[in-house]
Amino acid sequence: RYALLQLGDGTISGHRVLSAQMMAELHRPEITVGTDWTPAARTEDMHYALGWFTADVRGVHIVFHNGANPGFRAAIVLAPSAKAGVVVLTNGEADQFTRAATQSLLKQLLQ
């Protein structure tokens, strides 16, 4: 539901939760951070927004965040213009599966 709220520009199930202006502010690039986490190859212009990383991947603007706790990994990648997103949650320490699953699913969604 959180991903749907983000993709719905602050609206979910027909109910406005956050203003469109607030959503634009949340996703607006603020700080340049480089290209060290790439949800799919060819990441360009990676920035940090308010709680999100942003980048252009193969010509598509995405917002994403990943994280971990001992024994768990998570990643959320959204392509708002395509109204598409991927959420991967795993119960393991290795980042390779989370990264591979996210990359593969995102690539399929953006084809």
Query: Does pTM surpass 0.85?
Result: no
pLDDT at 104: 87
pLDDT at 63: 93
The mean predicted confidence, pLDDT, of the chain is 86
Q: How confident is the model at residue 42 (pLDDT cuts 50, 70, 90)?
A: low
Domain boundaries, the chain: 2-109
Three state DSSP letters for 1-12: CHHHHHHCCCEE
Question: When comparing pLDDT for 43 and 72, which is higher?
Answer: 72
Question: When comparing pLDDT for 109 and 75, which is higher?
Answer: 75
pLDDT at 90: 92
Asked whether the predicted pLDDT for residue 60 surpasses 90, the reply is no
pLDDT at 36: 56
* Distance of alpha carbon 68 from alpha carbon 99, whole angstroms: 12
* Distance of alpha carbon 22 from alpha carbon 1, whole angstroms: 18
Q: Assign 3-state DSSP to the chain and report helix, strand, coil percentages, each to 5.
A: 30, 40, 35
Is domain 2-109 annotated with CATH 3.40.50.360?
no
pLDDT mean over 41-67: 83
User: In whole angstroms, how far apart are CA 68 and each of 9, 33, 42, 57?
Assistant: 26, 20, 24, 23
In terms of Cα–Cα distance, which of 31, 73, 71, 81 is closest to 52?
31
